[in-house]
């Protein structure tokens, strides 16, 4: 199919300083969770974006020197000339597909730990460091430190040019930059020419941009990444800064500070959420402007460009969820875009020192080590048929990949609506975009002629034995426990039969809830607090109890924990931390302090418990017990995937389904060990 001519403007070239991008699709710098630890894996992930049609593909932060050591967070490095060869793999790969390559040079200043070098972190003034609970404090930079930083930044820019990059960044955003720290009066209390007025506080950044132009400006575009509210949270100062620096960079990459605000989850913002605050930049500068907004809709992208908000459509998370967005728009396949759901599971990888992951795109960071392509799958290895029991995220992804490979696939689910936990949870406050996980896969399956979908079709072991397929995949999910067993209570504290004890499954099934409600949450994720929001909005009094030291600790990794807590407080939810569940009766719930066993009793209408889940593996167990009957009915394998095997996050279920479907009839996959270490430099 040809592309809709309405989108032609998105495919127009644009000059950025001395270089030209082939289109308006721009993958802004974003982390990978691997960086120098796995340069081939990192490179292949970036190359996939270029293959998918992005005109510009950028790295994450590349540290400019050993005075900005971000370890243990994975980073790229341009400390010395020896780093050039390793980082050069990325622009070489990106150039193969006609895209420009960008690198984000960074000195993170107060955000550095310098834990390995054991040298003091640097800052405009002496201040407690930002990215740790450790009582580290920075050294106030003197004039020799400033001169050295300029020399190091210039040298890193030269190395970036030698490595083959087309666009080289100075980074002044997200609170993660020495330049932004010089700009902020909270961190910069200097009395010399680098402190005081805004003109003085921007002096270092101005000097560095001038240095970069002198060093590489003949052949590389000099980009500035700047958060418009970075300066003391003050947009007026941000505008003053842009007016003063408007023509110095070749490209303005603008966003919001800090990182959690720039990468807001779909629970708290919608597509294009940054426009109101960043739109002024394009009105001031004649240089190209790029920004982000979790853009997944081609119409929204087009609107941003045609209305003069942006020159280039920036993306990090959408380019992770679907590296082939530009090609799909170009080829008239917009219905096939795998839209980002804004869950920030991608960020959780980086923040847990792990390779990046994605709920929508299970192939990300497995492009190199497993050889997975996000669009292409190997053809089937036999004429076998597959029955997938369960249509949640694992089952749908498994069926989708199997069908694309050419297998005959049947999907059966006991529920009337296909989609499993995703469809049910997407009805909760703020999670509506999560339905994309099911809708994308169901749409893909419905386009194929080798798939049969059977909702409202509960199957027994006997039914499956009679079905006549060679491979059985059980993807029946998991059920929340009612007995209180979780992280803190390793034996039951509830009978599991109490009439006033509920689980998230009951809420999702629409059961009646009586107040006052106590939510006891050991899960630590999104579900407990989302249900709390739902119940308060329905007029119920809610107390939120957790044995952890903070509410929803997992959501610190998705960078929304602070907003979740603020919302609960705004809704009037009482929060009790460090309280362990002891028991409940018809009118009270008994809790105990995790440190002292001091008891707390709360009045109770309904107790909602989120402790742990039990895999729904009865079908799998029953089939394994009948394995002597398999041969007579033609069954070759019986497997379980997703939450049915090991309850986890939705991204893990999708990955499990994808992994099983890729491995079927693939001897190489069978021989591959379960543990696949990232290849090191």
Residues annotated catalytic, as ranges = 31, 171, 174, 262
The DSSP code for 482 is S
Whose CA is closest to 507, among 578, 418, 431? 431
- Eight-class DSSP state of 13: -
Phi and psi at residue 40, to the nearest 5°: -70, -40
H-assigned helices in 381-515? 393-405, 420-425, 436-446, 461-467, 504-508
305 vs 312: CA distance, rounded Å: 7
Cβ atoms 58, 167 nearer than 8 A:
yes
> What interhelical angle do 203-216 and 235-245 show, nearest 10?
40
CA distance 556 to 529: 14
Sheet (strand 599-603) strand order:
579-584, 588-593, 599-603
Q: Could you tell me the two tokens for 214?
A: 């002198």
Distance, in Å, from the CA atom of 644 to the CA atom of 394, rounded to the nearest integer, reads 9
Q: What is the dihedral of CA 495, 500, 506, 511, to 10 degrees?
A: 150
Report residue 539 CA to chain centroid gap.
33
The three state secondary structure string of 614-674 is EECCHHHHHHHHCHHHHHHHCCCEEEECHHHCCCCCHHHHHHHHHHHHHHCCCHHHHHCCC
Query: Cα 259–265–268 angle (5° rounding)?
Result: 110
DSSP state of 97: T
Structure tokens at 127: 């201040």
Q: How many CB atoms lie within 10 A of CB 462?
A: 11
Handedness of CA 258, 263, 265, 266 (dihedral sign): positive
Give CA–CA dist 357/648, Å, rounded: 13
Token match 């999910």: residue? 477
What's the order of all strands across the beta sheet hosting 542-545? Answer: 501-502, 606-610, 517-521, 542-545, 574-576
- Looking at the DSSP bridge assignments, the partners of residue 169 are 104, 223
What count of residues does the chain have? 681
Distance between CA atoms of 640 and 630, rounded to whole angstroms?
Answer: 16
Q: Which residues pair with 640 in a beta bridge?
A: 474
Rounded CA separation 47/99 (Å)? 9
């Amino acid at each position: 199919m040809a592309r809709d001519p309405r989108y032609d403007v998105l495919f127009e070239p644009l000059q950025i300083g001395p270089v030209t991008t082939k289109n308006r699709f721009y993958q802004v710098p974003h982390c990978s969770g691997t960086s120098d630890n796995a340069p081939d894996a990192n490179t292949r992930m970036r190359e996939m974006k270029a293959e998918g049609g992005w005109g510009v593909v950028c790295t994450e932060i590349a540290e400019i020197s050993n005075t900005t050591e971000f370890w243990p967070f994975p980073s790229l490095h341009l400390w010395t000339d020896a780093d050039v060869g390793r980082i050069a793999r990325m622009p070489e790969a990106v150039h193969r597909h006609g895209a420009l390559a960008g690198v984000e040079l960074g000195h993170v200043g107060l955000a550095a730990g310098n834990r390995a070098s054991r040298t003091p972190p640097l800052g405009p003034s002496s201040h407690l460091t930002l990215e740790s609970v450790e009582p580290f404090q920075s050294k106030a930079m003197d004039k020799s430190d400033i001169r050295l930083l300029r020399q190091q930044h210039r040298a890193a820019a030269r190395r970036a040019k030698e490595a083959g990059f087309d666009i080289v960044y100075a980074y002044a955003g997200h609170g993660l930059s020495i330049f932004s720290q010089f700009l902020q009066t909270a961190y910069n209390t200097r009395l010399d020419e680098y402190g005081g007025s805004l003109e003085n506080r921007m002096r270092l950044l101005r000097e560095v941009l001038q240095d970069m132009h002198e060093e590489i400006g003949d052949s590389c575009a000099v980009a500035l990444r700047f958060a418009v509210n970075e300066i003391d949270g003050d947009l007026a100062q941000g505008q003053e800064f842009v007016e003063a620096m408007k023509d110095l960079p070749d490209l303005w990459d603008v966003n919001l500070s800090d990182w959690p605000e720039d990468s807001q989850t779909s629970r708290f913002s919608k597509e294009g959420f940054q426009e109101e605050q960043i739109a002024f930049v394009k009105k001031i500068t004649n240089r190209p402007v790029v920004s982000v907004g979790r853009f997944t809709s081609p119409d929204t992208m087009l609107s941003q460009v045609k209305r003069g908000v942006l020159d280039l459509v920036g993306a990090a998370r959408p380019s992770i969820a679907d590296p082939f967005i530009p090609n799909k728009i170009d080829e008239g396949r917009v219905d096939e875009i795998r839209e980002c759901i804004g869950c920030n599971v991608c960020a959780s990888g980086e923040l847990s020192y792990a390779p990046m992951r994605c709920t929508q795109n299970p192939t990300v960071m497995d492009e190199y080590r497993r050889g997975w392509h996000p669009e292409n799958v190997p053809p089937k290895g036999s004429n076998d048929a597959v029955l997938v029991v369960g249509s949640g995220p694992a089952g749908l992804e498994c069926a989708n990949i199997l069908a694309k490979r050419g297998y005959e696939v049947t999907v059966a689910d006991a529920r009337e609506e296909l989609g499993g936990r995703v469809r049910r949870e997407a009805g909760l406050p703020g999670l509506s975009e999560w339905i994309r996980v099911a809708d994308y896969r169901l749409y893909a399956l419905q386009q194929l002629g080798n798939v049969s979908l059977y909702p409202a079709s509960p199957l027994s072991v006997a039914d499956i034995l009679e079905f006549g397929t060679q491979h059985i995949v059980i993807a029946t999910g998991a059920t929340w426990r009612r007995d209180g067993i979780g992280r803190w209570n390793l034996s039951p504290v509830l009978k599991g039969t109490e009439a006033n004890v509920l689980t998230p499954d009951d809420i999702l099934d629409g059961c009646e809830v009586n107040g006052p409600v106590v939510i006891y949450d050991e899960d630590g994720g999104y579900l407990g607090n989302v249900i709390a929001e739902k119940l308060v909005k329905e007029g119920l009094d809610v107390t939120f109890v957790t044995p952890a030291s903070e509410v929803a600790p997992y959501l610190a990794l998705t960078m929304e924990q602070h907003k979740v807590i603020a919302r609960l407080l705004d809704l009037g939810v009482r929060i009790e931390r460090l309280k362990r569940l002891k028991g409940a009766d018809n009118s009270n719930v008994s809790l105990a302090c995790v440190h002292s066993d001091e008891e707390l009793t709360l009045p109770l209408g309904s107790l909602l418990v989120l402790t742990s889940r039990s895999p729904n593996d009865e079908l799998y167990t029953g089939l394994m017990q009948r394995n002597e009957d398999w041969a007579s009915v033609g069954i070759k394998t019986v497997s379980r995937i997703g939450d049915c095997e090991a309850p986890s996050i939705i991204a893990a279920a999708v990955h499990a389904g994808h992994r099983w479907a890729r491995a079927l009839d693939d001897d190489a996959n069978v021989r591959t060990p379960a543990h696949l270490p990232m290849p090191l430099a």
